[in-house]
Amino acid sequence: MLYKYMLAVIFARCRDSSGTVRARALSLLVQCMRSDNMVVCSLFNEIFVLNQQCSGNEKAFMNYKQIMVALEKKSAMNPLPGARVIIGEFKNLACDSKVNVRKAALQALESIMKLNRSWLTENILEMLGSTCRDPAVSVRKEMVQILSDLLQQYPDDKKLAKIWAKCVVPLVLDQEGKLQECVLKVMSLVIVDNLTEYSRQQDNIWYALPWQLLTYIVEFNLHVCFMKACEVWVKEKETRNSLVNDLCTHVGTENNTPAWIVLYCLSTQMDFKNPMFAVEYYRQTVTSNEGSVSLLVIVLEVLLSCCGNLPHHVQKDMLHELVDGLSNFSVQRELIRLNVEIAVQLTHHLVESKKEARKKVKSWTGDLLQVRCVSFFR
């Protein structure tokens, strides 16, 4: 019973008028929730796990005087507040005016959610996500770590994955360098390190997690953020040699779109030694009239970045196909620019000098203009 009263005193101090005391009380509660002491663990288990289904009339916080009176009377009453009351108080403290109080309250909420997954509600997740925009850098950094730790504990929670992608990934563009480093580290940990070939993904939640996150990154249109991350990873040589090959195994699967997004982001920063997969996919998609225009734009962007590494005969065939498509007006309007740019690049790769390349480009572009003009005036 003494343990309960000691905890009740700490809970009471979470409402102290001093910000320092509030922060210290919250920190003590976090330490208790993470403690190996069996008695303390059982008390928190009783509050947040066993009594979780209690009705709305939960016991409120007792103040210090009430606790002292109960101790003097040797009362048998339970001095500890109810789980929902505690969580409600911690949510309020997560918006406290003091930075240290906000950080400690967020850590306390994290500890509760690690004790019992059912407290990982949509309402709390939304609140945690909005805290990623806190004006204090230390709070934003703390939130990145908290959401990432929760994601690693509950990798199959789609709502958590969605909040992580929506709120953590954009912070890679934060003005604070230390925060950028933190985000890059967790992105590499939960996404890049778990990317593997398609055959190994089945029935493995850790290998499925990065594709869940990448799907949300595509949904929230966060390509720029991911490209920034790829730029740093490639520059610092943090990408493994097999990464591109692993990604290629996901092309044409349910992970097709996010796989192409990652390939596009990487292609702007590194050379693909064997880009035939892009040529084959483009030919197949154009021939069968499958795939969205937006996806074909991404595929062509990849081809534009790596067409110089194609075999000579493939470059020649590809140039003919592109120019022929432009001449026959079979290229969709959104793809014309990229078709022309790739054709120009291929022309430069197929000849020995820039002068000859300019002459060749002038020749086939002149033919294109002539065909279009004749078609227009008919």
Q: What is the DSSP string of 79-116?
A: -SPPHHHHHHHHHHHTT-SSHHHHHHHHHHHHHHHHH-
Reported residue count of the chain is: 378
What pTM was computed for the model? 0.88
Using alpha carbons, select from 310, 377, 297, 308 the residue that is nearest to residue 338. 297
Residues 131 and 373: their CA atoms lie apart, in Å, by: 58
Residues 248 and 272: their CA atoms lie apart, in Å, by: 11
Contact yes or no for 323/343 (Cβ under 8 A): yes
Contact yes or no for 242/251 (Cβ under 8 A): no
Contact yes or no for 26/104 (Cβ under 8 A): yes
Tokens standing for residue 305: 């970045």
Tokens standing for residue 111: 């500890």
Phi, psi of 250 (to 5 degrees): -95, -10
Using alpha carbons, select from 191, 193, 192, 187 the residue that is nearest to residue 170. 187
Alpha helix stretches (DSSP H) within 191-334: 198-201, 205-219, 223-235, 243-248, 256-267, 276-288, 293-306, 312-327
Using alpha carbons, select from 205, 104, 187 the residue that is nearest to residue 144. 187
Instruction: Tokens 């934003």: give the residue.
Output: 140
Using alpha carbons, select from 135, 102, 160, 119 the residue that is nearest to residue 168. 160
CA dihedral 164, 165, 170, 174 (to 10 degrees): 30
Residues 6+ apart with CB under 8 A from 338: 297, 300, 301, 303, 304
Task: Provide the residue-wise pLDDT of the chain in tens; the chain has 378 residues.
Answer: 677 888 888 998 999 999 999 999 999 999 999 988 898 889 899 888 886 555 555 778 887 777 777 777 766 677 788 889 999 999 999 999 999 999 999 999 999 999 999 999 999 999 999 999 999 999 999 999 999 999 999 999 999 999 999 999 999 999 999 999 999 999 999 999 999 999 887 778 899 999 999 999 999 999 999 999 999 999 998 888 899 999 999 999 999 999 999 999 999 999 898 899 999 998 888 766 677 888 999 999 999 999 999 999 999 999 998 888 888 878 888 988 999 899 989 988 888 888 887 888 888 777 777 665 555 445
